[in-house]
């Protein structure tokens, strides 16, 4: 198995999750890290089996350390610059979600991958979850007919603290519907297109900052570290997405559900439905043989994966990216897939602000 030399840029919580499983992989050598914060960088370095260069400027890392690929987990507004620099340095690049905070930044990243003949994969890791992928296989098999309605209901706690509270600032994070629910919008695209092509055409959003992100006084104690953080993101929303196939998708999001947390995703087809609960590791199938009581598929998560990021879905994402690098095969979760989820997310943010539907000319898949 060819050894892949890997650089890690950004060592916050997302990257720490990646490191837990990356250090277990054979044929992968982490050869350098970069982060602007010395303490976070030192903490990440302690997780490695052997010491490697750790630098405060990722550009110096690109200039001084030979590598084949990189993982990027920096604040969203920096994705374009860091990813383009890595691609221009000749590295296959796995960039955390969301791909970027504007479609122009997405285009620049795609162009950088193309001109350097390098792979760009976007960290939409739900596609690699054993639960989500089981549900997708059922839909793609035709078990429920043509998918017509998709929904996601996520009621959860507020965002975890981020460096200098960048996540609370829409200008740096893209907003809640970009930072958090790009995952859901990607799943909407994935499921509505499971039996053929599908493109989002219009988005309607209703939401606001009505509780935890209403003002600074309501933020959980200890959640901020900046002196006067910018707080301009929403904490709840309903978002409807129309597709050119006639399918519709609906997001229900609450960011202040410390009690009653729930993550449910469903796909209603013309001949049945798939409903699943990622945090409960099960998929329910309603079909001709199970019209009222579903056939429940329990998802087995290997013990070693349970302790890794998102119950192993980041690990499976890593395996896929590294396999693409070894085989020279372009990842399916590429810049075009990443941009399509950002397009919906940005339209949803705009619709929430303007109280008007927003049309989309979806980027074609390549």
The yes-or-no verdict on residue 1 having pLDDT over 60 is no
The domains located in the chain, with CATH, are 4-125 (3.40.50.720), 126-302+335-359 (3.30.360.10)
pLDDT, tens only, 234-244: 999 999 999 99
Structure tokens, 137: 């296989």
**CB-based contact 68:6 (threshold 8 Å):** yes
Q: Confidence class of residue 91 from pLDDT cuts 50, 70 and 90?
A: very high
- Rounded to 10°, the helix 182-192/335-354 angle is 120
Q: Does position 265 have pLDDT exceeding 60, yes or no?
A: yes
| Lowest model confidence (mean pLDDT) among 55-59, 83-87, 279-283 | 279-283
Q: Directed axis angle between helix 182-192 and helix 130-140, to 10°? A: 30
pLDDT > 90: percent of the chain = 89
- The two most distant CA atoms of the chain are separated, in Å, by 62
Q: Which of 48-52, 103-107, 149-153, 197-201 has the lowest mean pLDDT?
A: 48-52
Contact between 122 and 95 under an 8 Å Cβ cutoff? The reply is yes
Give the CA distances from residue 239 to residues 26, 203, 349, in Å, rounded to whole numbers and listed in that order. 42, 7, 9
pLDDT confidence band for 303 (50 / 70 / 90)? confident
Report the candidate in 230, 226, 218 with the shortest Cα–Cα distance to residue 258: 218
Q: Give CA–CA dist 343/143, Å, rounded.
A: 30
Local confidence band at 305 (pLDDT 50, 70, 90 cut-offs)? confident
Residue-wise pLDDT for 151-202, tens only, equals 999 999 999 989 999 999 999 999 999 999 999 999 999 999 999 999 999 9
Q: What was the pLDDT predicted at 304? A: 83
Percent of the chain with pLDDT over 70: 99
Query: Could you tell me which residue, 231 or 222, shows the higher pLDDT?
Result: 231
Q: Per mean pLDDT, which range of 194-203, 222-231, 252-261 is the poorest?
A: 222-231
């Amino acid at each position: 198995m060819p050894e892949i030399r890997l650089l890690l840029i950004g060592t916050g919580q997302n990257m720490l999750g990646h490191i837990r499983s990356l250090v277990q992989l054979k044929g992968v050598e982490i050869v350098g890290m970069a982060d602007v914060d010395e303490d976070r960088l030192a903490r990440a370095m302690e997780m490695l089996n052997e010491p490697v260069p750790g630098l405060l400027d990722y550009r110096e890392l690109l200039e001084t350390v030979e590598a084949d690929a990189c993982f990027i987990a920096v604040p969203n507004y920096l994705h374009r610059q860091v990813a383009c620099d890595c691609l221009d340095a000749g590295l296959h690049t796995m960039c955390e979600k969301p791909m970027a905070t504007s479609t122009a930044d997405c285009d620049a990243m795609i162009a950088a991958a193309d001109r350097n003949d390098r792979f760009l994969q976007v960290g939409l890791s739900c596609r690699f979850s054993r639960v989500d992928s089981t549900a997708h296989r059922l839909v793609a098999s035709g078990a429920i007919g043509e998918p017509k309605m998709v929904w996601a209901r996520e009621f959860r706690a507020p965002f975890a603290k981020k460096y200098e509270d960048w996540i609370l600032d829409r200008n740096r994070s893209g907003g809640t519907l970009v930072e958090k629910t790009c995952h859901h919008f990607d799943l909407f695209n994935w499921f509505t297109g499971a039996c053929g092509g599908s493109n989002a055409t219009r988005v309607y959003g209703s939401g606001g900052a009505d509780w935890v992100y209403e003002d600074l006084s309501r933020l959980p104690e200890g959640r901020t570290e900046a002196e006067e953080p910018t707080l301009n993101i929403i904490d709840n929303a309903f978002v409807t997405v129309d597709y050119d196939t006639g399918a519709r998708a609906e997001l229900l999001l609450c960011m202040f559900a410390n009690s009653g947390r729930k993550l449910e995703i469903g796909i209603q087809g013309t001949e049945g439905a798939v409903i699943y609960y990622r945090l409960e590791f099960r998929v329910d199938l309603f079909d001709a043989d199970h019209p009222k009581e579903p056939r429940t598929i329990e998802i087995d998560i290997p013990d070693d994966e349970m302790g890794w990021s998102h119950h192993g879905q980041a690990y499976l994402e890593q395996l896929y990216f590294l396999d693409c690098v070894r085989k020279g095969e372009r990842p399916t979760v590429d810049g075009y897939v990443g941009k399509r989820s950002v397009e919906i997310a940005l339209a949803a943010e705009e619709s929430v602000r303007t109280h008007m539907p927003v049309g989309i000319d979806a980027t074609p898949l390549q």
